[in-house]
Structure 1
Amino acid sequence: MKLIRTFGRSRAAAQALVETLEQRGAVSTARVEPSVAKILSAVRRQGDVALKQYAVKFDGLSKDQDLQVSREEMKAAWVATAPALQKAMQTAQQNIRTFAEAQMPREWTTTPAPGVKTGQIVRPLTNVGCYVPGGRYPLPSTLLMTATPAQVAGVARIVVCSPKPARETMAAAWLAGITEFYRVGGAQAIAAMAYGTSSIERVDKIVGPGNLYVTAAKTIVSAECGIDMPAGPTEITVTSETGDPAGIAADLVAQAEHDPEALAILITSNPELATAVAAEVKMQAKRNVIAKQSLAAQGCIFVTETVAEARELTNRLAPEHLTVDSQADLKWVQNAGSVFVGAYAPQSMGDYISGPNHVLPTGRVGRIRGGLSVMDFVKIITVQEYTRKGLGAMGPHAIALAEAEGLVGHAESVRVRMQ
């Protein structure tokens, strides 16, 4: 990991690095957008023909293999799963469900004036697509994280796409009751869910994390299909003054092993802690090939002049995962996907079992939204009801505003009902 001070001789270099990190999302996806656009266009025009060609080329699908994973395959995977892992999946599913149920928005009505009722009703999306990364690691946890809140919301049709689905992922699909599971990934899976093919009917919204190609594809199709967020390669920031070097290093290595593109950062005004963490990271990543690669490429330790500067820098970067020292630190946190508090809250617990969703905003999207939640699977529909008395009381105000804007038809639509 690079160690750089934000003050003194290295101030300019540190500022340049920070500015680069602030642009990380856009810069990263830009380099793959031409290839992604080509795939999206092919699937849109040729449907299953292009989808299967790309699945054979990129996803390891054999030419005579079905795109859809059968329920029998899912059941067999569940039966073959060790009891301890079955229990872990069931615990994770229950915690995710409980958390999503607590997040569920409520319906309500208020009366701003006599004869006037306003409020909101809550309705689920009709169908959604859940992208579950495959390839390097099986991610049954992501299947549970994306499908469970959709189920809590009441979504009727849930589609899962995952390249080279591992037995563990198929087992999680069985546990979740998934009936549409396709063994395709990458930009081609996003295209199929967004535009539809003969095999995969289009969905209204796509959720889930992925690599740069998936993230770029989601961004492009968002003009026609809803998406949750550009949830790209993993990011971790630890902002600490008093943390345990071994524990901090373990979190940095753990998140860095997700992807060679992962971003791992420590921010501190404590130079002794910075040096100790750097040494621990080097030792702990020694035999972890992916983590070692991503830490060498993107890993960074910022040593700031003050604690206040460390906090300001953290909010500027808006990390996906953020670890802080204590509950008191939550007061200054403004931008982050999910926050982990204290020495006994490893970020891996959030990846698997705690309940809050692990599909989180990357590329500084944490400035404008939090992680995936049940809110991503529902619509808040507002409702308004007037009696004659209510319209008589409120109507003149609406007429005055409409006439001020020169919209005489608007004014008349109110006036005609007041006669």
Structure 2
Amino acid sequence: MAKTGMYVGLDIGTTSVKVVVAEYVEGQMNIIGVGNAKSEGIDRGIVIDIDKTVQAIQRAVTQAEEKAGIQIRNVCVGLPANLLEVENCQGMIAVNNESKEITDEDVRNVASAALVRSIPPERQMITILPQDFTVDGFEGIKDPRGMIGVRLEINGVVFTGPKTIIHNVRKCVEEAGLFIDEMVIAPLALTSSILSDGEQDFGTTVIDIGGGQTTAAVMHNKQLKFTYVDQEGGEYVTKDISTVLNTSFNNAEALKINYGDAYPDRTSTSEEFPVDVIGQSEPVNVDERYLSEIIEARLEQIFMKAKEALDDIEALELPGGIVLSGGAASLPGVVELAQEIFGVNVKLHVPNHMGLRNPVFTNVISILEYTAELGDVYQLAKSAVTGEPTQIQETPQSYTREQPIYEQTSYEPEEQNYQEPEETEPKEGFGDKVKNFFSNIFE
């Protein structure tokens, strides 16, 4: 169950920076503030201008503060999957205290033992995610604290990423006057948040189509097994429209939103709309089918690249199929096009929070939900990576407006509703075939 308290999620995207303030009361999340500012200084998910990125973060934070009525000081920020590496790790220690009762310090020490490895100088450990512990040969223990034992072992997953990306994200957040409570790996939070237990267990692929890049993440046995990043996203669709129709980028974005469809078979050549063409004194009429073919060409290219990467590890044979998320995934016809290309069941995930029922907010909400569910054992293991002491509260503190942990402001997004395709149950017997599908993926 999520801890009681206040959480602020920060998603630094290519097209926009989003901030969401949520209050958890007895495990129930209530969103009380939202900020959404146009991104500047971000290209293909990577910070290229720290000052402009800082200004975009500050604008989004100010909007969220005005809505929530608190001053934001602490945030949980998402890290992109660019050059992310995922590795299994194991560690073992002897329990040294006289009583042989396993303590917080033992959990930290065994996590440190699992992290003994050589890492290239350009890479950095992000975090370690404990899967289970073994006490004197007894396996499958989720929290060994308080147990009696002589030998403690850990099985976990360690995530590493480029130092440049991690440093730049941290630098931008701190320059914006904020403190980072948690740096969350975006595809890990996304798959953990939007997939059901069955989808996480039997295996499902999540494809997030953002503005500047597309990320595919495979979850199996409730572990993030694989990530793939393509440096193309929704902005590239807009650029194609702008180039082919010889119109401005802003006009092309409006055409995509107002008339765009990614599946030409659903469009008509008889339906036309005016387009302001550069160098022409009068608007030029363009039909729906032509616009749809422009959109389809780019999205087909994005999906074919992802399919090639997923076919290499046979991820498309997993029964969960594909779940789409991200702002560009909400374009009409994207689900149908993806289903035709990938040849598996495809559905669109839409957040179910009032005022935020738009896939563009999926990432930032997943950062919030994932962080709120992190337990004490994770925090202890993570301290072995960061080297910072961890204080575990027996009873999570409840924060009120009079005693905020985030000193808090807004943006009221237009509510949109999207129809999700029905989720089909996996065929009987197929689960046995894939249950251990990725068990040796890191060996």
The structure with more strand, counted as a fraction of residues: 2
- The alignment's TM-score, normalised by the length of structure 1, stands at 0.25
**Greater Rg, structure 1 or structure 2?**
1
- The alignment's TM-score, normalised by the length of structure 2, stands at 0.24
The structure with more helix, counted as a fraction of residues: 1
